Chain A
Amino acid sequence: MRSLFKFHGGVHPPTHKAESTGSPIAQAALPSKLVIPLHQHVGNRAVPVVQVGEHVLKGQLIGRPEGRLSSAVHASTSGTVSAIDMQLVAHQSGLPDLCITLVPDGKDEWIAHSGVDYRQTAHTDLRHLLRQAGVVGLGGAVFPSDMKSYSHKHKIKTLVLNGAECEPYITCDDMLMRERAGDILRGAEVLRELLYAEEVLIGIEDNKPEAIAAMQQAVLDDRHAHMEVIPVPTLYPGGGAKQLIRVLTGIEVAAGVRSTEMGVQCFNVATAYCVWRAIAFGEPLLSRIVTVTGNVEHAQNFEVLLGTPVDELVAQAGSKPDTDRHIMGGPMMGVDLPSGSVGVTKATNCIIEASPRLFPPLPPALPCIRCTRCADVCPAELQPQDLYWFAKAKDFGKAQEYHLFDCIECGACAYVCPSHIPLVQYYRFAKSEIWQRERESQAAELARERHEFRLMRIEREKQEKAERLAQKEKAALAAKAAAPAPVPEPAIAVAAATADPDDTLQMRIDAAVARAKEQAAAAHPKNTDALTAEQQAEIAAIEARRAKIREMAAHAGADDEPPKSNQG
């Protein structure tokens, strides 16, 4: 028995997992349409490579990865592309993003695909395959997996496979481990190979005995020599990568530090499963397991095609009529979806149908009484009560000094707060304000540089003019003097000769860079071009809401109410 480490704090919210683990993973029905966002991963949005009206096959590339940090997007089934436009997506911001709408033809016809033997394939090629297959972190972070499977400078000793699944309600990883343990471990073996890791530690919270047993059996069956399935204590947020790494290895990875620098890399179990499907069968990431639970007749896990509208998915679990919201993710860190029409993405691990009965509105917030329950449960070992104080007072410098950016927004503090203060919202507010100020100060810095450069240029032009005049006079004098006079060189050439060539070149480059920066700063984000009137109206409404929130936040110091919009 391996000795485990503890992370500070943590909470025990009611798990609500039993509801959705009663039946095996079901295949969700083919929806009437698929709304597939081109931005389902961290990094650059994929670029559409199909046209409206084009017929595509299941697994066909429809979004090409763009730039170094990006990932591919595919058609989840065969059908016709009916639109490529801005639509609401499953994202916290509530802003629309570029999506490809696909009308299935019902044949579910695959594109030709085949796998490779990973032992016979170069690592570079394997990583390329992962990128082309659109494999990203399925634990929720959706970070492109190919970018996480390098083992360059840092010698990776341990690969941590995350099957902890600490959030209440979510059981997609649990069911996946119960039903497809073999493929998960084979995927982990590929990742271990890529990282040259010595060992694979599979952390699973001890409230999932079936999953633990299935995974342990799979380790024995396939004789995985370097793998160990380790039950970890059930404690939220024990499934956070850094918390799990701490529990399994004792290593604390500080904020802003990559775990690879400490010799550890962490992947979610579902990611490992997709890695195996992509490498061994050439199957891109087209579907994922989604837990549908909460206010439904029969909560269970579905294998869902990416892009399936949430409405159509929850209908299959019998969403009850008094449902008033869909939460994507868990109750601690989930997102309140902007609409039921959004498509399931690679980040969608769970849809909780919420009703006022299940999630009653919080009582009004009272002032903080400094009871420090929040500090007792904070896994990042922060002092949430102080951060709240600084955020409320808009003392952002102090908030940063007290490590605001180490906050992982796990919500444990708000969960235990006896005053019911929406602490996490305060931290998000403070963080976004700080980012905004940094952007502003960068812009101001750029403007200052440009201004100084302009002054310098004017000065230089003056000097050049004076030099030219002097040259002219010299030439005139020389002409007057003894003949035959030498033909004067063209003034410009002289000027160029007297000026330092590197200098002018450098200046031109600088000027060009500055211009480019300026243009970049001035350019609108692409996704705000060519909007329909209703989208414009929506954006205007959102802006108004933001303004309102800022205004409320401005008054927040003056009263004890938290800043919240009337959206409630």
Chain B
Amino acid sequence: MWSSPFITQPSSVSQIMLRVLLALIPGIALYVWYFGPAILVSIALASATALATEAVMLKLRNRPIKPFLSDNSALLTAWLLALSIPPLAPWWMVVVGTAFAIAISKHLYGGLGNNPFNPAMIGYAVLIISFPVHMTHWLTPHALGGAELTFGEQLGYIFNGALPAGLTLDAVTMATPLDTLKTQLHLGLSVDNIRDMPIYGRLAGKGSEMVAVGFAIGGLYLLFIRIISWHLPVAFLAALFATAGVFHLVDPVHYVTPLFHWFSGAAMLGAFFILTDPVTSPTTPRGKLIFAAGAGLLTYLIRAFGGYPDGMAFATLLMNICVPLIDAWTQPKVFGKKGGGK
């Protein structure tokens, strides 16, 4: 039986995912500008792994391969994961993280639309727990003028683990601005002293702060074309800002400014691209506010007091756990039942 409605809007899941991928491009471009093209290798590698894993899993689950492979959701997972880990990460790490994200955290839960946890963040969590040392080797930005690897040398390290003669890993990599902040605070330095270190720029880390700005620009584009709702990024950034602000006001010697938190680590990527994964976030407007605010609070707590340099991934996963409850709790009133009639 053919039944109404007989028409639909010409939008599709793959189109939505494609727009999100497009929105990542400004951030990626700035990444390449400040840190060199190694990140593109990670992205390509993750993408290939994601598509291959997706195809294999669909085959195993007896699902039609073409419509699902072309929905672009696996690609988005791959890109987000690649952007969350160091660009010099060895190839097998990228492959393991991506394959785990797609196979275990997505398809074993029933594939597209059924996974309770953000697959990219699961992949990240697996890697940071399994290979913590590799996860600290971040490239130094050009701006610092240290030793730099050519693109060929970067490829050499990613695929063979070999560095050119006379260069140590420490010479070409560094810890993230957030990580540096944490270790230096432990060593008893004050925030002001630390902020004077050369790796820091105006907002947060040199280079990485601009990448964050790039992601924010892409995120604003997504807001503008209504792919994401304002609730998630606004609530997340507000909660992060407020929590960081309170600590900073109380003790500016040991707690860095809220703006620093905004523009370091994965905060901007998380606010606009990770939390906004529709599958793993709440569906109600109030629920989205609660979810994102919780993630903002947790991100700060993990950054300031936890054992990991950045808290975005774990905050997201912890809040993913709460989504069913949040959804059930925040059901909006339906038409005509709000009381009062008007």
Contacts and interface: CB of A to CB of B under 8 A. Distances in A.
| B is a partner of A | yes
Interface string B48-91: 00000000000000011001100101000000000000000000
B146 interface: no
Interface size class of B (residues with CB under 8 A): 35 or more
Interface stretch (B7-15, B194-202, B240-248): B7-15
Contact of B1 (A370, A381, A564): A564
Interface in A232-263: 242, 246, 250-255, 257, 262
A250 B338 CA distance: 13
B71 to A, nearest CB: 6
B19 to A, nearest CB: 11
A516 B114 CA distance: 51
Contacts of A359: 6-7
Main secondary structure, interface of B, reads loop
Interface string B165-179: 000000000000000
Nearest to A256: B336
Interface in B277-302: 278-279, 281, 283-284
Contacts of B64: 364
Q: Which of B2, B5, B283 has the most CB of A within 10 A?
A: B5
Nearest to B328: A386
B336 A333 contact: no
Query: Of residues B64, B110, B229, B278, which shows the largest number of chain A Cβ atoms within 10 Å of its Cβ?
Result: B278
Contacts of B12: 363, 366, 418-420
B67 A366 contact: yes
Nearest to B7: A331
Contacts of A422: 3
Given A251-B341, A252-B342, A406-B334, A366 B13 contact: yes
B60 to A, nearest CB: 15
A332 B5 contact: yes
A362 interface: yes
Contacts of B327: 386
Nearest to B63: A560
Given A250-B342, A253-B336, A415-B9, A333 B283 contact: no
B111 interface: yes
Given A251-B341, A369-B113, A381-B335, A420 B278 contact: no
B18 to A, nearest CB: 11
A213 interface: no
Given A253-B336, A333-B4, A418 B15 contact: yes
Contact of B6 (A354, A363, A386): A354
Interface in A303-335: 325, 327, 329, 331-335
Interface centre among B12, B229, B336 (most CB of A within 10 A): B336
A424 B16 contact: no
Given A250-B342, A367-B114, A372-B283, A380 B6 contact: no
B331 A402 contact: yes
Interface string B137-158: 0000000000000000000000
B186 interface: no
B332 interface: yes
Contacts of B22: none
A375 B13 contact: no
Interface string B86-106: 000000000000000000000
Given A370-B283, A415-B5, A254 B67 contact: no
14 contacts: A254-B335, A255-B334, A255-B335, A257-B336, A331-B4, A331-B6, A332-B7, A336-B1, A366-B12, A406-B336, A409-B4, A415-B5, A415-B8, A424-B4
